[in-house]
Structure 1
């Protein structure tokens, strides 16, 4: 995925029946060098992309680690598992105890994986799944954008990482799922959509 040798600035292959001629006689110098243009180079992967993806992973993953730990242990806002269960009950879920653990572990584990750039499709899918459920149950569509703009941004960031991969500053760098990011991204997107549907239809 990141092999710069896969990108080339060489001229495009001429199709059968077409001509590479510019329409001007190369031996005619009357036009000077006005028509001499350098070959266009294709876009290549560069360090700025790696840095941007690293920042995105650290911020998104770090935020979800904090939220997950707060649900598990109440370290930051005294939320804890009991309050998480009551919150899920308020949203109409029928198995708040089970779902509270699923939610807390998904946020914590997903965040850690994103920070490390390890099993990135799974980490991004976990975050995306949590946010998709939150948007559905929390959104008030009688208000502007449902009042869930922040959740939409979280979901968009996770979706982005699902299809871009973690960049080269990651443990996943040389893995198969990193080299074939779009394929794995699509697979985990389908799995996430299925999990969201089951959660909303079966447990609510």
Structure 2
């Protein structure tokens, strides 16, 4: 075990559990799934209940998957898709900086997940425990890990926006 592996473990666990906590909050926080669904409906992600379930479930699965380092490029792709949709539907009008509720945080989470997919989850991960020495292991890091995370994540996020996102009409003078 090296400092590199411990550093990756810390990064994976913090990012992963942070994302999983967001999913948990959508399911069980104030307003629960019904409140989350209403919020999704109000921003143009319809049907809201479907998207609330998909978002909460993906946040929990991607978060836990990244935290334990299991098939790392796949949960990293979930981060990319989630953060692209969040940045586009919620934060884009506010600019870049998080202090004005911009999309800065979304970018940091997505880029961090892709970077982990590129470096690999490290020796302190289920990827290493279960797949080290197998042909599959080569696809769980390096260029393959980066490509899987980025391409699959972008395709998922763009696809969801193209199929489901219908921004509400702007009113006012």
TM norm. shorter chain > 0.5: yes
Aligned counterpart, 2:157:
196
**Contact map agreement 2:17 2:67 (CA 8 A) in 1:** yes
Q: Could you tell me how far 1:144 is from its partner in structure 2? A: 4.7
Contact 2:115 2:146 in 1 (8 A): no
SS at match of 1:147: coil
Offset, 1:185? 2.9
TM-score (ref. length: structure 2): 0.81
The partner residue of 1:87 within 20, 32, 39 is 39
Query: 1:93 & 1:191 partners in 2: Cα distance?
Result: 20
Mapped partners of 1:57, 1:195: distance in 2: 21
Larger radius of gyration: 1
- The answer on whether the counterparts of 1:70 and 1:79 sit within 8 Å (CA) in structure 2 is no
1:165·1:178 contact (CA, 8 Å) conserved in 2?
no
Q: Which has the higher helix share?
A: 2
C-alpha displacement of 1:189: 2.2
Distance 1:178 1:164, change over 3 A: farther
2:138 paired with 1:179: yes
Contact 2:138/2:144 (<8 A) preserved: no
Structure-2 separation of matches of 1:171 and 1:142: 38
- What RMSD over aligned residues (CA atoms) do the two structures have, in Å? 1.9
What's the counterpart of residue 10 of structure 2? Answer: 55
Gaps of 5+ in 2: 166-173
What is the CA deviation profile of residues 138-165 of structure 1, one whole-angstrom value per residue up to 9, with x for unaligned ones?
A: 2345645472222221112112112111
Following TM superposition, by how much is the alpha carbon of 1:73 offset from its aligned partner in structure 2, in angstroms? 2.1
Q: Which residue in the other structure is 1:96 paired with? A: 48
TM-fit CA distance, 1:115: 1.4
* Aligned equivalent of 2:123: 168
Determine the C-alpha separation between the residues in 2 that align with 1:49 and 1:177: 22
Unaligned runs of 5+ in 1: 1-45
After superposition, the C-alpha distances for 1:84-142 in whole angstroms (9 at most, x for unaligned) are 11111122112211111110010001111111111111111112210111111123456
The TM-score, its normalising length taken from structure 1, stands at 0.70
